[in-house]
Amino acid sequence: MSSNSTRRCPSLPAMPMAEVVITGYASLDYPALLDGTVAGDSTTQIRFRDPGAWPRLGGSPAYAGAALARCGHRATPISWVASDQAGDTYMRMTGEAGMATDALARIDAPRSPVSLMLYQADGTSICLYDPGFAGREALTPVQRHRLTEAAHVCVTVGPGHLLAEILDLVGPDATLYWVAKNDPTCFTPALCARLSARASVIFCNQAERALIAAGTRDDQIVIETMGRRGYQVGVRGQSRIVAADPVSVSDPTGAGDTFAGAFIGAYLKDGDPHAAAQVAAAATRQMLEVRGRAERSLS
């Protein structure tokens, strides 16, 4: 039910700067806009690719962490890359985006995860994903220490075989944020139920809303993004829907994770979820506008 109530929602103690540990997959992304559609035994021309984002830092922790860093907080991603040149690039780009790199682990493998993201002329998209070393991820002593000591932990889509261990390591007094994703290899029904009961703030889109188990905490905040329609902030059974001012962009990758990171960053400063959502929407819009301008100027 939509409500315009101005009653103050549950809040966290305001703080000028905090550390947020963010778990999930790493990826180097190679996005391109095509002149046509891909077909077998044929060539399709690339209409646009940004030379300044080839590759582009990818993966949910990178987008959320970069947004947190822009809010003035310390963002510490827990992710994994290989011992290859792509892994070196990922480490360097993470640091350049203002995030900590001490909890990024290197795996002795020949290939880091990469994604080739193709946006076709008919509006459809293709993602060619090389998981690299999928299934070989393990928590390092540094990563375990960061999770145990963290006051704020954000769980994004990542290695499913590690998620139960990650949740076991999070301290009982830590604030947990969950960025939901329709990936059953990571978020199984049992883990979704556990995250639903534990998380203070949950981010999802309309399709992912079903992942949140019924009977969640009364003080839980659920942020549901609705694409071009906007977003809604739900607290204590009441929701406030905010319309969006759509941005024309072919490649919206990372919008939801950017929204989540910017929301957490703003929420940690003043504890108002509605104000934080406005900050997050503005940050996401800015990211998409930069991409849209690049597409129009270089295509």
Residues 205-249 have pLDDT tens digits of: 999 999 998 767 788 999 999 988 899 999 877 889 999 888 989
Confidence tier at 19 by pLDDT (50, 70, 90): very high
Q: What CA–CA distance (Å, rounded) separates 130 from 237?
A: 41
Cα 194 to chain center, whole Å? 19
**Ramachandran assignment for 39, one of left (phi > 0), alpha (psi -120 to 50 degrees), beta (any other):** beta
Domain range list for the chain: 19-25+61-106+138-298
The per-residue pLDDT for 17 is 87
Res 130 pLDDT > 80: yes
Res 204 pLDDT > 60: yes
Res 196 pLDDT > 50: yes
Confidence tier at 25 by pLDDT (50, 70, 90): very high
Percentage above 70 pLDDT, the chain:
94
Res 5 pLDDT > 50: no
Q: Which residues pair with 233 in a beta bridge?
A: 223, 240
**Average confidence (pLDDT) over 106-135:** 96
Res 9 pLDDT > 60: no
**Average confidence (pLDDT) over 141-145:** 99
DSSP string, 1-44: -B----PPPP-PPP-S--EEEEE---EEEEEEEESS---TTS--
DSSP string, 190-228: HHHHHHHHH-SEEEEETGGGGGSPSS--TT-EEEEE-GG
The per-residue pLDDT for 217 is 79
The per-residue pLDDT of the chain, averaged, comes to 92
Confidence tier at 4 by pLDDT (50, 70, 90): very low
**Average confidence (pLDDT) over 144-165:** 98
Percentage above 90 pLDDT, the chain:
84
Res 269 pLDDT > 90: yes
Fold of 19-25+61-106+138-298: UDP-N-acetylmuramoyl-L-alanine:D-glutamate ligase (3.40.1190)
Q: What CA–CA distance (Å, rounded) separates 156 from 12?
A: 21
Q: What CA–CA distance (Å, rounded) separates 121 from 289?
A: 20
- Residue pair 223/263 in contact by the 8 Å Cβ criterion: yes
The per-residue pLDDT for 16 is 55
The per-residue pLDDT for 15 is 54
Confidence tier at 8 by pLDDT (50, 70, 90): very low
| Per-residue pLDDT tens over the stretch 87-116 | 999 999 999 999 999 999 999 999 999 999
pTM: 0.92
**Average confidence (pLDDT) over 114-123:** 97
Range in 67-81, 189-203, 218-232 the model is least confident about: 218-232
Res 12 pLDDT > 90: no
Confidence tier at 3 by pLDDT (50, 70, 90): very low
Q: What CA–CA distance (Å, rounded) separates 34 from 154?
A: 34
Res 64 pLDDT > 50: yes
